[in-house]
Amino acid sequence: MVSTLDCLRLMYGRHLVSVRFIISELDDRGKSLSDANATITVEDLWDLDQDHFGGKDATARCIELCCIGQHGVVLDLGSGLGGTARHMACVTGCRVEGVEVQPDRCEFSELLTRRVGLSSLVTFTCADAEEYIFPTDHYTHMTAFLSILHFRHKERVLSSMGGWLRQGGTMYIEDYYADHRLSDSEKQALLNAVACPGLISQTGYLECLARGGVEVRSVEDTTTEWSRLVRQRCEDYERERPRNESVHGREVVARAIGFAHDVDSLFQHGIVRGIRVVGVRR
């Protein structure tokens, strides 16, 4: 069986938003990371390091819906390149702990966080969230932007997450779910395109959270919204191909365009649906 980490590495080898992407973009903007005197701010990174649907606007919505403030202690599950964590800390002054399974992305998150002067508020742990022992009754908030979809044992993790929050702590999740029993070919398409080993239903998703002591405050089906964003991403990549090839290289851009179209296909064929959940620890 191919490991989750191997699947993620294959996926992010096609994803445009990556360590190499940020380095090339900053070089092109005259803010090279290799220049110790270059001033780099969180705002310089906002359109580069948040690769979930909606980017920085989605993060801002999360901050508002969960009332994240200066005294918050936030767990960012599947923190990726650290953009969400840095954004939340910069805007609110909260402390954020990111957990990310891919070592290169975790290390680069730490580098970027140092460069923007947020290391006192934002930290990262390189670990498999399915195996990591999280502290109980610890966090005031928890966020998971398109990370749980990669887990093999979703039900177990979803049923555990409420216990990581303090009483009254809030949870914000954006993820995929399935509205039908997936065929073997659909499961393979999911694994190949987005390193997803399978999906559960919306009902199953919410039942797991409830078993863990989470009271769901709002549930939003984001399928139409995300499908539109994916299609727009495909069109943007094609339109910006000449510029992106000059900055990132033809092969990198070709892989990214292929990835975008594969994700678009998942939505167009009804294999995935999107969900946005806000909950609170009872």
Can you tell me the distance from the alpha carbon of 108 to that of 98, in angstroms, rounded to the nearest whole number?
Answer: 12
Q: What is the pLDDT of residue 1?
A: 55
Q: Tell if the pTM clears 0.85, that is, is over it.
A: yes
Whether the CB-CB separation of 281 and 213 falls below 8 Å is answered with yes
The phi, psi pair for 63, rounded to 5°, reads -60, -45
Number of domains making up the chain: 1
Q: What is the pLDDT of residue 15?
A: 87
Helical segments of the chain, H only: 4-12, 19-28, 42-45, 55-65, 83-92, 103-115, 154-160, 184-194, 202-211, 223-239, 241-248, 250-268
Tokens of 7: 């699947």
3-state secondary structure 202-256: HHHHHHHHHHCCEEEEEEEECHHHHHHHHHHHHHHHHHCHHHHHHHHCHHHHHHH
Q: Which structure tokens are listed for 96?
A: 């954020």
CATH number at residue 81: 3.40.50.150
Computed from CA positions of residues 107, 111, 112, 114, in that sequence, does the dihedral angle turn out positive or negative?
positive
Q: What is the pLDDT of residue 2?
A: 62
User: 């409830």: which residue's tokens?
Assistant: 210
* pLDDT per residue as tens digits for the range 95-146: 999 999 999 999 999 999 999 999 999 999 999 999 999 999 999 999 999 9
CA–CA gap between residue 107 and residue 112 (Å, rounded): 9
In the predicted model, residues of the chain with pLDDT beneath 70 are 1-2
Q: Which residues form the domain of 230?
A: 4-281
